[in-house]
Amino acid sequence: MGLLSVRNRFIEKLRNFATLSDPAEAALEAATRNASKLPARRDLIREGDRPGPVFVVLDGWACRYKILPNGGRQILAYLMPGDCCDLHIGLLAEMDHGIQTITPAQVATISGGEMDSLLTDHRGFARAMYITQLVDEGTMRAWITSMGRRTSKERASHLLCELYLRARNIGLTDGIELVLPLSQIMLADSLGMTPVHLNRVLKELRLSGTIQLRRGSVAIVDPARLAQIAGFDENYLHRRLRPAIAG
Amino acid sequence: MGLLSVRNRFIEKLRNFATLSDPAEAALEAATRNASKLPARRDLIREGDRPGPVFVVLDGWACRYKILPNGGRQILAYLMPGDCCDLHIGLLAEMDHGIQTITPAQVATISGGEMDSLLTDHRGFARAMYITQLVDEGTMRAWITSMGRRTSKERASHLLCELYLRARNIGLTDGIELVLPLSQIMLADSLGMTPVHLNRVLKELRLSGTIQLRRGSVAIVDPARLAQIAGFDENYLHRRLRPAIAG
DNA sequence: CGGATTATTGAACCTGATCAAAGTTCGTGG
DNA sequence: CCACGAACTTTGATCAGGTTCAATAATCCG
């Protein structure tokens, strides 16, 4: 990476899933050059909105969420640096969920037409995007499984495992330490429990020496134990990929 | 539909999402001609298996599921006649969940290569498949929301609403009556609750005159009430679509 | 520095789980 | 065609995980 180039976490992520040609990287670089800085808690798009371009989070965190009639909130997924929303989002008439920044974030947009050309012109990019989508789906299935069949302690541990691994994959960890800009309220809204109960669960994990909590970060002191509590199997993140049969 | 042609529920479903050219329909007809009859409770593929071709359920029901270390099962989605699994499934090294028939079923397979040609040759088909995938994702998000933030009664009602609407969309209902080949055990494994408790919830819905239960079918006696209990918003099924901008 | 948001703890309560048993329905083989 | 066993449904009684309500402490942000 040259001195003048800023790292592009979107491209870095896609490289994990496929080989990108130089022209592909250049095109992606160009396509995400329009990134703008957004404050925390800013909606990129709301449920009911008509979808427009694809959002690419180049830096910072965001989340997908739904609000229920009774006012409750369910967080559906976290977008970390390099993540993006569904590539074909523009085919829909209406969003079935909202997307909001959690921290201040750098977000680029790629129009449907531009995305289509990128996909047809750069097969490596297309491949990487398809895999990305499969990973996102796998993650949703893991969440459903957690919510349905894991206890609150297992569930919280599972989410921490996931976030730790995802963060590590993109170089966001420092050893066992993970920068985690999520309040316990957000975590509780992800896990389908109350902040009060989550707080007690975290306390238990803390006291057993499994994790350490600071504001804005977690340290996974005993990863093996955490994974064992969670019944964590990282297969759904699909780091091991099928070797491509010819470019 | 000519006298000699058997209805192809896959094609019928896709027509809801995009206009298919005659050549496209012919190609799809040909691609699914290899369908074979499978018995109930037969795994199409298991967690950990290396994915092969795309499965298309032409008739009968199937489900995606995960088994947990402790033996518990979580059902992740239902595949009804016309539904198929992820179109890019072949890119992965390993399945993160299993797919199993529920009833005897007619299942066709489309190889990755064949799928790729179909997608490039028939844009309407590609469009329909992308929308299908977005609907599947929306459905998963609705399930996460249900599990996280709805009570058992709301959750059960929500699932019944979903299944009723999906069945009606493909002509599987008879008025308020819905053919539902799901045991209460399966429903409980979908909803993240015990069969015992689900049974009591269903009893309550039955006694309040909201639904009627027979073996293998449900009648939605009071759809408005059921939707109101569930807090059901059908937007995630994306029946209203964005009009295509040119072919 | 001051208001607002977040984290932590306690106590009472309730939804849904667990354990157990009886009643139904269904498929299969005799 | 009936009998049998297996799987599913239904009901009861008890228990526990997690919620709710409430109050205090800690932290952040402008």
- Cβ–Cβ gap A235/B48 under 8 Å: yes
Where is pLDDT greater, at A242 or A194?
Answer: A194
Give pLDDT, residue B246.
46
Q: B95 to each of A236, A240, B135, how far by Cα in Å? A: 8, 11, 21
**CA of A86: which chain B residue's CA is closest?**
B134
Residue A2 resides in a domain: no
Residue A86 resides in a domain: yes
Give pLDDT, residue B4.
55
Tokens of A55: 């959002």
Q: Which letter does DSSP use for residue B163 in this model?
A: H
Tell me which residues have their CB below 7 A from strand C: A 183-185, 195-196, 199-200, 202-203, 213, 215; B 151-153, 192-194, 196-197, 215-216
Same domain? For B48 and B130 the reply is yes
pLDDT tens figures, A84-111? 999 999 999 999 999 999 999 999 999 9
Mean pLDDT for the stretch of residues A34-55: 97
Same domain? For A105 and A62 the reply is yes
Q: Does residue A246 have a pLDDT over 60?
A: no
Same domain? For B29 and B132 the reply is yes
Residue A28 resides in a domain: yes
Residue B100, burial from CB neighbour count under 10 angstroms (0-12, 13-18, 19+): buried
Same domain? For B118 and B204 the reply is no
Phi and psi at residue A67, in whole multiples of 5°?
A: -110, 135
- Cβ–Cβ gap B144/A143 under 8 Å: yes
Q: Chain C positions under 7 Å from a protein CB?
A: 5-11, 15-20, 25-26
Give pLDDT, residue A240.
82
What one-character-per-residue DSSP string does B6-48 give? Answer: PP-HHHHHHHTTSPPPHHHHHHHHHHTTT-EEE-TT-EEE-TT
Residue A19 resides in a domain: yes
Given A89, A118, A140, the domain boundary residue is A140
Domain of A160: which CATH number? 1.10.10.10
Q: Which residues, given as ranges, of chain B have pLDDT below 50?
A: 2, 246-247
Same domain? For B154 and B72 the reply is no
Best interface-test mutation with B: which of A46, A96, A111, A123 has the largest number of B CBs within 10 A? A96
**Strand D atom within 7 Å of B212 CB:** no
User: What percent of chain A stands above pLDDT 70?
Assistant: 96
pLDDT tens figures, A143-167? 999 999 999 999 999 999 999 999 9
Q: Does residue A73 have a pLDDT over 90?
A: yes
In which domain, by residue range, is B21 found? 9-140
Same domain? For B168 and B125 the reply is no
Tally of structural domains, chain A: 2
Same domain? For A133 and A156 the reply is no
Residue A1 resides in a domain: no
Nucleotide nearest to A72 (CA to C1'): D19
Alpha-carbon distance B6 to nearest alpha carbon in chain A (angstroms)? 30
Domain of B51: which CATH number? 2.60.120.10
pLDDT tens figures, B165-186? 999 999 999 999 999 999 999 9
Q: A239 to each of A14, A16, A165, B148, how far by Cα in Å? A: 12, 8, 10, 27
Distance (Å, whole) CA A82 – CA A92: 23
